[in-house]
Structures are given as C-alpha cells and as structure tokens.
Structure 1
Amino acid sequence: MTRTVVVSGGGTGIGRAVCAAFASEGAQVVAIGRREDVLNRTAKELTERHTAQGGRVRALPADLTLPEEADRVRDELRAVHGTVDVLVNSAGGNVLIGAPEGADEGTAGASWHWTENFRANVLTAVLLTEAVRPVIASPGGRIVMVSSIAAYRGSGAGSYAGAKAALHPYVYDLAAALGPRGVTVNAVAPGYIAQTEFFGLQGHAGARHDLLVSQTHTGRAGVPEDVAGTVQWLCSPSASQVTAQIVQVNGGAERGR
C-alpha cells in the first residue's frame, strides 16, 4: 500500500534525507517549507531519482509558524490524499546562527532569540501536528519530531536547547492521546550531523568538526541519512510497539568521553 508522508523542513539537510528515504520505498511525499525554490528543486530531483520505485515528492510551501498556514496545509492534504500515514516534523534551526553580532544582547536580545527559536522549533511542529491530527491514519499512523542533542546538554545560549527540549513532553502527551487510535509518536535527537545548513556545508574540516567528532564513540560525524534511517524505522511496522520515545542519533556524544 502506498503511504502518504508529510515532511516539514523537507527542502534541505535531514528533512531532505527523510523525503528521499520514503520516496525510495515508493511513498507519496509532501515536502513543506518556506523556501519555495528550494522545495521545488528538491521535489524535482528526488522524484526523478526514485521514479522507478514509484516514489514522488511534491513541494508545498508554507510558513508553519502561522496557524492559518498549518490549517491550509491540512485542507490541501485532505483534499489530495484523504489521510496522512506519516508526519515528520523536521523544520527548525537555531536563529542565532548567522544573526548579526550583538543581536542576542540585553533583555531585548534575549526576548528575540528565545521567542524566535520557540517559533521556529516548537510552533512549526505543534501547529502542523495539531492541524494534521484529525487526518492521521488510524490505526497505523506515525508522527516523528526532530529534536537535538542540545535538549540534553545545552546549546551554549539556552533558547535553542530549550525549544528542542519542549518537544519531548509534547511527544509523551501526544503518544498517550493517540495510542488508542493505533498511532505512535516519537522523536529523534541528532547530534553532529555534517552536510547540513545547521553545521555548514563546507565539508569535514576545521577545529569545530574535530572537536565534535572527538566527542563521539564512533569516531565520525553523522550524516543526514543516519537520521533518516532511524525515522524510517520508527515509521515501519517493526516499530509498532515503540512510542513516547526519544531516540538519540549522535554516536554516543551525549554520554561524553
């Protein structure tokens, strides 16, 4: 049976890898994000790559920090697909990356980055999930949030880690609420994942790369496919008894050396 898979933040990085993983198994994938050009390029490339498997990726631009946009996405999904089998909330990021120098200074700066990281990482996941909740396949539906190792050990500025940590109790509550419908809810918490905009696309080099790799037990950086494979498993029949879990994908780095 062909599944309908919805992936927020599907244009790049982990979200793109998740789209590719499901397209490779013949799913009909809907990639959501704010950058229409990036989404369209990803959808075209992945659809062409996985045509033989029957997979298709369609772009659906939306700003998921807005309730009306999340509702519009739900209405379109319902009209085109009827139900959603898998929802992966991968949208997010740390607004302090690339911010002007001094943007986080003082109470005004703190208010800005705490509010914006909450919007980018929590609201995008919560609003899309709550909008799509009525059309999640029951039984058999799967919901996965993308958290971060920062939720366990901090991010250096607080707001990004705090935003990701906020997803964890939401996972627990949602799993309890949707469990009777046969729907599982989990999260993955990646560590250092190279080849993403979050960590930079310049390649495996530099002191920061060496430091982050040294904190792992596996001796390497993660790649988006590591996370996508875990998400794919959580959404498989084999994981039907796995729910309300936060699965870490960080090479053991959360445990430290």
Structure 2
Amino acid sequence: MIGHGELACDATSPVQVAAMAGELDGPLDVLVNAAGGLPVPAAETPPLEALAQEWLSSVSANVLTAVLTTAAVRDRLAEGGAIVSIGSIGAERRGGSYGAAKAALAAWNASLAAELGPRDITCNVISSGYVTGTNFFGEGMTEERHRRLVEETLLKRPGTPDDIAETIFFLASAGARHITGQTIHVNGGAFTTR
C-alpha cells in the first residue's frame, strides 16, 4: 500500500486479519498474498501428532493466510483490480505438506477467479521456483543444493525477488486484464508446461 504505511498481523488469526482490514481506507487495486513458508517442525511429540502439526502448519501458513486476508478485504477490492497469490514449484513435485498446501492455494485461486470475475477482478498464482535473496530455506541452503537447483533451470540461474515482483507488476497491469484463474510458473524452466 503506497502511502499508507505498513500494517502487520498474524494472517492465520481471523481476529487480527479483521482488525488489519479495518485499518484500511478506500479501495484496493491490488492484493498480493505472499505469506507462507515451510512447516514448523513439531516439538517432541508422538509421530502422528507431529505429522498432524506439520500439515496444519503448512495449510495455515500457505492457504489460510490468503483465504482470510482476501475475505477480509474482498469488499474493498476495486473493480478492475487484481489478486496475486504466491505459490511454489513444490506444488508440482515432491512438495510434501508444503507442496500440497501450495496446490490447494492454486485450486482455491481458480474458485476465487470465478467468484470475482463478474467484478472484473483478476486472480492468479505465481508458482515460483528457487529464488535467491530470501530467507525461505533458512539454514537449509548449501552450496551443493544451490548448484543443483540452478542446474534444474533452463536459464541456468536462480530466480530473484525482482523476477517475482515484475511478474506481479505485469499481472496487475492493463496488459494482463484477460489473464485470470491461472498459475504462472516463474522458475526459469525448472518446471515446464505444454
């Protein structure tokens, strides 16, 4: 939100999301659902409880945040606006609970696009691949893993935050007004579609 400062909240909390939405003034032209991340490892608990905690963590962080935020600001979205949600290449391959949650985000996006289409609001997902310059992998990024992820791409380079930001900018622009309900793969060709 240019000119409005930052509003922070726990996007998994309906109460906090509602309070955040109440602080907004005027219509919203663009909503970017960018909350998410890998599941939080469960503390020492029995295996099934740990598994349940992992899956709940993944769904809460990667789907529920987008669903609650979008619902809270839905009436403020301007006609001709855009919603962009950040997905992951993990939805396409070996993603475990995280990948399944990002796949659910894409399925939800398709429904959302159908609901908001009559208001001329577009809804798309950016399915990002490996992006450097973020804390996504935390301590889990090694030189070998970096090399392997870059080698998977057709461009032989990692993605950058600018690659994602420019795609968001495009999806929110007049040039993308007839693109909705889609998952746009921004991964340097690490995952390709027909």
TM-score between both structures, scaled by the size of structure 2: 0.92
Give me the identity figure in percent. 42
**1:145-224 matched pairs, under 5 angstroms:** 145-155=85-95, 158-200=96-138, 206-224=143-161
Distance of 2:108 and 2:82 partners within structure 1: 15
Distance of 1:221 and 1:232 partners within structure 2: 20
- CA drift of 1:199 comes to 2.9
- CA drift of 1:61 comes to 1.4
Aligned to 2:179: 242
Conservation of the 8 A alpha-carbon contact between 2:87 and 2:125? yes
Letter aligned with residue 90 of structure 1: A
Distance of 1:95 and 1:169 partners within structure 2: 20
The reply on whether 1:114 has 2:51 as its aligned counterpart is no
Aligned length: 193
In structure 2, the CA distance between the partners of 1:218 and 1:104, relative to structure 1 (3 Å rule), is farther
Distance of 2:67 and 2:143 partners within structure 1: 36
2:23 match: secondary structure: helix
The reply on whether 1:74 has 2:21 as its aligned counterpart is yes
Conservation of the 8 A alpha-carbon contact between 2:39 and 2:55? no
Distance of 1:142 and 1:103 partners within structure 2: 42
Distance of 1:248 and 1:199 partners within structure 2: 20
In structure 2, the CA distance between the partners of 1:104 and 1:254, relative to structure 1 (3 Å rule), is farther
Conservation of the 8 A alpha-carbon contact between 1:184 and 1:242? yes
The reply on whether 1:136 has 2:83 as its aligned counterpart is no
Letter aligned with residue 39 of structure 2: V
Distance of 1:180 and 1:59 partners within structure 2: 30
Q: Deviations over 1:111-142 (max 9, x none)?
A: 0100011111111110000111111001x111
Aligned to 1:227: 164
Q: Deviations over 1:206-231 (max 9, x none)?
A: 10001101100000111111011001
1:126 match: secondary structure: helix
- CA drift of 1:105 comes to 6.8
Distance of 1:133 and 1:146 partners within structure 2: 18
Letter aligned with residue 70 of structure 1: V
In structure 2, the CA distance between the partners of 1:103 and 1:213, relative to structure 1 (3 Å rule), is farther
- CA drift of 1:75 comes to 1.2
Distance of 2:137 and 2:174 partners within structure 1: 32
> Out of 34, 42, 53, which is 1:90 matched to?
34
TM-score between both structures, scaled by the size of structure 1: 0.71
Segments of 5+ residues of structure 1 without an aligned counterpart are: 6-27, 29-55
1:95 match: secondary structure: coil
Conservation of the 8 A alpha-carbon contact between 1:195 and 1:201? no
Distance of 2:49 and 2:191 partners within structure 1: 32
1:221 match: secondary structure: coil
1:145 match: secondary structure: strand
Q: Deviations over 1:70-114 (max 9, x none)?
A: 11121111xxx2111100000110024xx47x7687111100100
Distance of 2:144 and 2:108 partners within structure 1: 36
